[in-house]
Amino acid sequence: QSALTQPPSASGSPGQSVTISCTGTSSDIGGYNSVCWYQHHPGKAPKLIMLEVSRRPSGVPDRFSGSKSGNTASLTVSGLQAEDEAEYYCSSYGGSNNVIFGGGTKLTVL
């Protein structure tokens, strides 16, 4: 299975918007609407912030939005806040009862 590709870092000032990409193939992201995004603060449990490409779990602010085009999924964080600074991981169903992850993007709020 191939892995998902994310940029290692992203940044923005408070109030700005930032978009993080996650690129896969037609065998994973392009083949299923099963993309998730997780927010991970060091030392804490990862938190699901997006599922099924663009569905926010209860309690996740609408500043977070997701989309997909072809083999690339994207997470947009609008109105950046200091607490958004974290590592963000994408995942996708990869077929054959398996899931694959991206390498993570460190989001810095300047």
Partner 1 sequence: QVHLMQSGAEVKKPGASVKVSCKTSGYTFTTYALHWVRQAPGQRPEWMGWILPNNGNTKYSQNFQGRVTITRDTSATTAYMELSRLRSEDTAIYYCARSWFGDFSFDYWGQGTLVTVSS
Residues near partner 1 (CB under 8 A) are 3-4, 34, 36, 38, 44-48, 51-52, 57, 89, 91, 93, 97-104
Q: How many residues does the chain have?
A: 110
CB of 52 to partner 1, least distance (A): 7
CB of 79 to partner 1, least distance (A): 24
- Scanning the structure block, which residue is given the tokens 């810095």? 108
CB of 10 to partner 1, least distance (A): 17
Q: How far apart are CA 100 and CA 91, in angstroms?
A: 5
- Which is it for the CA torsion 82, 64, 90, 21, positive or negative? negative
